[in-house]
Structure 1
Amino acid sequence: MNVPFDRYVSFKNADWEGKSQRVMAKLQSHIDAADNPFWGYFAKKRTELNEKQGLDDLRVLHNYLPTLREILEESGDDETLAMLEDLEVTCM
């Protein structure tokens, strides 16, 4: 019997989708400001990973977690950094 695997079953009631969306919304201001070359690259890869590979934003954020953390720390965006860290602890 072929049963689909839900890799997010352990995140039930963790609101991983909502948290991922909120982090991405906060990151959008950095992407729009384009004050670091990484943001253009990140936006392009997000689209590519979402559309071509079918990865959701939680996975995209996980893929770039160390870089995101470093850039957010350098930019002093403590609010987005805290949201990202909460997402990491509860959903990654």
Structure 2
Amino acid sequence: MFRRKIILVLVVALVLTSGLYMANSDIFETSNPYKTEVFKVENGFGYQINYNSKLLIKQEYIPAVQLNKTFAQSKMQIVWLNWLVKNYIIKKIHR
């Protein structure tokens, strides 16, 4: 009975240790060749997309808007811009 408890404790400890190791290591990370960056420009923000460390797109102004309007200086818009680049623009490029 005592021997079974020791074995059970050792197995649980091994499983927990293995789980913590895998959770903190980058074994399961997939390599994404696209990297995005939101950067500050004179009156707001722009973004750029790199593919395998090569500049693919650098957009300092809002596309299709006249008068070189930048993205505004709001944290919510920066978060939205980052989401837009990662989830929409890169998918369009990747087609």
Q: Same fold (TM over 0.5)?
A: no
TM-score normalized by the length of structure 1 = 0.30
Structure richer in helix, relative to its length: 1
Q: Which entry has the higher C-alpha Rg, 1 or 2?
A: 2
Higher relative contact order (CA 8 A, sep 6+): 1
TM-score normalized by the length of structure 2 = 0.30
